[in-house]
A = this chain, B = another copy of it.
């Protein structure tokens, strides 16, 4: 039986009202016991889908002990509850992983956007070293309301994609690479300096943030979501 949360956390249950999106639980730096207690509180009082991000195996076990039917995507270090995403509304979110190693971050983005209510398509291994792979998916890219691109190393893909589409591009640098990639600094700087305008950058490896931002950009134009035409 998990602890109550009041000695270490105060959940922001009303965020769903204020922002239209629920608070997510960032697991890194919390003990499994704390995460378990938060899961229990969300089960009792939560009024919205619950996302647990950057969850290690111990965190996952603690969540599943309280929310046994939660969906656990271990590659993306994500748990979501309830396990079925809401019916999709709004525009299409296309998520690209530049290489296989960027897939966990891309998946985290894709699942986040899906559980916040968007339709999503995920494509993998679209690096600029094989440009034909990018060009081959132009139709898909141009059907998106927003494109999320996860890329490490040179971080060149968002520039290339943004030059081809009207939609905004959410760029997530990843820590994939070594040496002068400096843990994702290289693609982060590339993306901030993208020669094509229309690139929105989030933190290194922040798949959750990318998916959240994409969901907001592709939100339907209803007063409920706080958006206005």
Q: Which residues of A contact B (CB under 8 A)?
A: 7-12, 15, 18-21, 23-24, 26, 28-30, 34, 54, 90-92, 98-101, 103, 124-131, 133, 135, 142-145, 152-156, 159-160, 162-168, 170, 173, 175-206, 208-209, 212-213, 216-217, 219-221, 225-229
Contact = CB atoms under 8 A, between A and B. Distances in A.
A195 to B, nearest CB: 5
B200 A100 contact: no
Contacts of A206: 178-179
B154 A195 contact: yes
Given A179-B203, A180-B204, 10 more contacts: A9-B100, A12-B129, A15-B129, A26-B99, A29-B99, A130-B163, A155-B190, A156-B160, A200-B213, A217-B217
Nearest to A11: B125
- SS class, residues of chain A in contact with chain B: loop
A184 B190 contact: no
B125 A10 contact: yes
A153 B212 CA distance: 17
Contacts of A153: 193-195
Contacts of A160: 128, 131, 156, 160
